[in-house]
Structure 1
């Protein structure tokens, strides 16, 4: 038995004391609106962590934020921690002296302070309860120092010291009240108290807070609405009302609601107008200009068209009703819209094809060439998708033109100012220069679908370009070993794969492996051009090709190591798509193991056909026939595995009324051709397979997977009867070989529909 000390902690609970409400306000200069939600969560987490470490029980917490303060309220906080008795088990009393000495050093006690019980030494340390004020006085500075602001700063003379206080903006005040009494603490020269400040413009002087119950009311009297949720409601409803009073409809934007609430302590939504001449600029540009630069809402008229109106949110209740505020905001917005109009006019002076020439200066990825290289690959694939009829009704010429121009707006002034408008502006510019609508729409929408809720393009040219663009990105980054890992996906390949899947689910019949190989070849040829100047020069320098330019399998390419892109496109990408498909279909209730079972066939990369097969398989495995057939399959597979019989079925059956000739591989891999009399159940399984196999094959070929499952269902009773009455491992080698061959034939028949070994349960 080991004599090493074993810690053991017990606690003795004292009679619970009284509780009180606690208020903490951390006041500073303006906290950026984008940081406030995270700050609220961090304040709650840090407070709970400190209280838990000290042994103070914490219930529900209220956390508020304004631009100038973070506030936490804890109701019913215990006034003291519980006294605890910590007990650590030591060595036995009969243990060597060295063991005891080590235990004493560890605990910091002397031998006479130990307690002996049942021949074992114990160290018992009584820790009295602590007053909550003492706990809080230590916790508040610790919380402030540990606060994980995305960006923070030092200030004042103390900032010269590296250990000086950091906060998002200079911290100016701390309120810490427990039961109305000040919790005395200090950090960075700021001592806690009970005073705060009201609205920067509507209130002057300090406000004295008595406790939790009067805090929000006294601040409201000082024109500060401390509850951010309440301010959000004022912004949301006030903006709608301001628009409605003018006969307009607000374009709702919940992100803008939260941001405006985070910028104001006394929000007052106000409606303003801008010059109608700016409406010639695309509406998305106006909305983005107003939103990003000025945090304004926009409005539409009763017909749904963009109106020359905006709603801004003031931080004061102006005496003139906000007229001066609106006038000032109108001037600022006019300047921004003038810039946008200038970009709009300048960009249209240059055709998209000329803009596209500049893409050769932009690196797509250092190992994958330029954006111009990407555009050329996408154009070839889009044209191929159209010419092969994979995207029905798609004009190959239009698909190539749209693909060649789809990235051209990346070098325009407008997209340089507003990257969010890439694609959209290309569509506007294409339409403005008279390109076909199908081409303009494809340029505009080729990034879609961007997320799970985004619309899926259906226009043929758009579908071809969108598919080509996403597939090119996936194959490219897989080719240089930049696959997503864990939560890391810097090139958004998972999103691209989901986009491809959603487009294909709309009815596009594409064999993914063919597209992967085509793109891999294009990547490789482009890399050869970059490395050698031309394919002809590459042929001249390498000896791994014959005179006709075909690869000589007997001669390795001496320059293979120079290429970043690897030509083994296919298996890894298909596995990636299988994983993405499982994630996407999980919400639809499709079992992941069934997707694996179909993908495992190895030749199923048409997602439309694959999902049809999976859905039919899911319906089948939920029936009694399906459950029993799976059980029979697994029993057959286990027998074959146990006997080492892993080869595919190669036997041919020449029927006689009661006899059969079995030509198959035995367990040792030796050929055997014997004639023996089959048992009735054995013959019944042969007859069932003779009938089911052609039916299942024909149904799979016709993509009628429900009928294929129905054909397999006819094997359920014969395989059950076979196992009930037939001995597979018969002493007669001929019977044994024939019956193993029959089970292998049964397994092979099932595998024509799905790999049942992947099905769980």
Structure 2
């Protein structure tokens, strides 16, 4: 068994793209090796900013041999009575590339058939890999790729070398004029010379000697350990930004953590300003005294040895000082103008082409926020504060601080609102209405933050859909999927009983009045598209929670209001009943009445035409149950609805046993179908039970 290494050497790859590229590299290797019939023990992938690495361990020396038996025509047409091959046999042999004399005849369940027996000897793995590796390299997917020099190859960054080894042999191929070889390079600064690798087993040791740690997990452990040691030494609290840690791992090949400092006067800036400047812009780790209090210190992970640490840290301190000085200047200048006086400046900032400016958006948020507040029946004072928050919530976008650091939108709005003597409730809503900002982020806590957040996200989604800017495939430049998920999570976690459809319709009306544009599609069509967009997100959420897809589909099919909390209740009730006898009983009865009446429209039942005791009994039970079903559905007591429906199952079964529905008498036939239709509609009030896959089909 042999070892294989493929190293794609590049210029520095953006850190945020590397992890996905590694997953893609591994998947591609698995796929192509399987297709090539090459067996191996394990595939591992590693990366640094300058290289993507594929390890294949215990790879077999050659492909698996293939032995095939291919079925051809029936013996009866392939040969005549004298056992002479006929045209079908000759053509089949020719198509399989064998002589007709080599065809074999075997008995099958359907009689005698002609077969061709073929074998294919596997080729050496090294020869297959020389064709496979260029395909793998070309197939790695990146969000953005580039061409360089005169090459047609697209990759995230220019490829400068390719190392490809099969034990001690070079796997030879040419990639756009670049020949594969046995040469790699060490650390760009500490060991930039060429390194010749004679055997795969030398690779790891040689790179370690030349200041390259190829395993991201090892680099992460080194970084985390050194940061913790520094924090412990200075008596700080161990708070490490895990997202920044993951990113830093792919910024360095040879990490070393160094402590830097900055002037304590900058601690007067808001905590979020300091952390965003350090973490987002400089990739530094702030040092905390306690959870919400910083020390005037930071940790930077350098891509170098500790010999050069002093010079490097001084340079980083100078850079941070300049950034913080800018932030301090912006903060002081912004405070000279009250937040309220900035609102009119939003008229000069375009929200989106054909969707008006940010001042227009502010007016829409006030209207939509008021509508949602009325739906949720919030207190008058809360609504008054909400309208004030809606008026001010975008004003910080024209401040110098947010222009320089866009990540601070909402955060600085809160700070400047408090500085402008606005109520804290108003300031909190300004900050919270952007939440959740990313997957896994916290949700707004205050009523006004919740309402304003929903209004803002709905306004964004509706505006984009009216302009034909709905997400397509993996493309979502306006983050609409994230915002839709944010709305869903807020509504479900806060148990808000509100119709998304009504909110969307209101938003459309406010756009039409406020921006004065002509809708490219009918209002109902746009509303349906947006509701379907939300339903796809809802479905994914419940699937992740382990709910069967058919339960979700059944509930969503009857949803026409987008009441997310009500959808959740229905799904939970059906999920609870799913494997119980009551539900199977209801499902069977529902399917029987549906199958017979699905092509008919509901019509009134003429009681005078009820002839049989079983049909009279069925209709009597139906009339008795209907008012109570409506009452329970109105009160969202869905478990009690199913209890009532169970009572209807026995009369349904009796009806089908004793009554001939498709009688020759047309008026009686129509009347009986009308009964069945009404009962079918009743059974499917909570969910479309025809969408439920039977337990038998699920194999449970």
Q: What residue number does 2:108 align with?
A: none
Task: Provide TM-score, normalisation by structure 2.
Answer: 0.82
* Contact 1:391–1:508 under 8 Å retained in 2: no
Write out aligned runs for 1:412-561 (5 A). Answer: 412-451=399-438, 453-505=440-492, 506-528=494-516
Instruction: Out of 580-589 and 394-403, give the one that drifted further.
Output: 580-589
| Post-superposition CA distance 1:275-327 (Å, at most 9, x none) | 1111111222211211233221112114542222211112333348x333333
Change (3 A) 1:701 1:295: closer
Contact kept? 1:274, 1:330, Cα under 8 Å: yes
Match of 2:212 among 224, 233, 248: 224
Q: What residue is the counterpart of 2:250 in the other structure?
A: 262
Tell me how far 1:39 sits from its aligned partner: 4.9
- For 1:362, which of 332, 349, 359 is the aligned residue? 349
Structure 1 or 2, whichever has the larger Rg, is 1
CA 1:703–1:255 in 2, change beyond 3 Å: closer, same or farther? closer
The answer on whether the counterparts of 2:220 and 2:249 sit within 8 Å (CA) in structure 1 is: yes
Q: Which has the higher helix share?
A: 2
1:567 maps to which residue? Answer: 523
Distance 2:67 2:154 in 1: 37
What is the distance in 1 between the residues matched to 2:8 and 2:487?
49
What is the match of residue 703 of structure 1?
636
Contact 1:60 1:74 in 2 (8 A): yes
Q: Which moved more, 1:202-211 or 1:710-719?
A: 202-211
Match of 1:688 in 2: 621
CA distance in 2, matches of 1:259, 1:451: 16
SS in 2 for 1:369: coil
Aligned to 1:670: none
The offset of 1:425, in angstroms, is: 1.8
Query: CA separation of 1:501/1:718 partners in 2, compared to 1, >3 Å: closer, same or farther?
Result: same
> Does the alignment pair 1:281 with 2:293?
no
Deviations along 1:79-118, whole A, 9 cap, x unmatched? 455788999999998769xx99xx99x99x9xxx977545
Query: CA, structure 1 residues 80+346, in 2 after alignment: closer, same or farther (shift >3 Å)?
Result: same
Which residue, 375, 382, 389 being the options, matches 1:402? 389
Separation in 1 of the partners of 2:153 and 2:269?
A: 50
Q: 1:336 to 1:696 in 2, by over 3 A?
A: same
Name the stretch that deviates more: 245-254 or 729-738.
729-738
Deviation sequence 1:11-32 (CA, Å, 0-9, x none): xxxxxxxx43334445455444
1:124 Cα deviation from its structure 2 partner = 12
Cα distance in 1 between the residues matched to 2:579 and 2:66: 57
Which of residues 146, 150, 157 is equivalent to 1:168?
A: 157
C-alpha distance 481-41 of structure 1, shift in aligned 2 (>3 A) = closer
Comparing 577-586 with 48-57, greater Cα deviation is found at 48-57
Structure 1 41/286 Cα, relative in aligned 2: closer, same or farther at 3 Å?
same
Contact in 2 for aligned 1:194/1:208 (Cα 8 Å) = yes
Give the Cα–Cα distance (whole angstroms) in 2 for the partners of residues 83 and 452 of structure 1.
48
Contact 1:252–1:297, Cα closer than 8 Å, also in 2:
yes
> Which blocks of at least 5 consecutive residues in structure 1 are unaligned?
1-18, 531-561, 652-661, 664-672
Shift of 1:404: 1.8
Q: CA deviation at 1:512?
A: 3.1
Which 5+ residue runs of structure 2 have no aligned equivalent? 79-84, 106-113, 695-700
SS at match of 1:73: strand
Name whichever of 463-472 and 614-623 sits farther off: 614-623
Q: Distance in 2 between matches of 1:677 and 1:188?
A: 85
Would the aligned equivalents of 1:80 and 1:130 in 2 still touch at CA under 8 Å? yes
Query: What TM-score, normalized by structure 1, do the two folds share?
Result: 0.76
CA deviation string 1:174-215 (max 9, x = no partner): 544433345566767866655554445545765554422233
Matches within 5 A, 1:290-439: 290-302=278-290, 304-319=292-307, 322-387=309-374, 389-391=376-378, 395-439=382-426
Aligned-residue CA RMSD (Å) = 4.1
Aligned residue number for residue 658 of structure 1 = none
Aligned positions, number:
672
Report the alpha carbon displacement of residue 446 of structure 1 after superposing the two structures with TM.
0.6
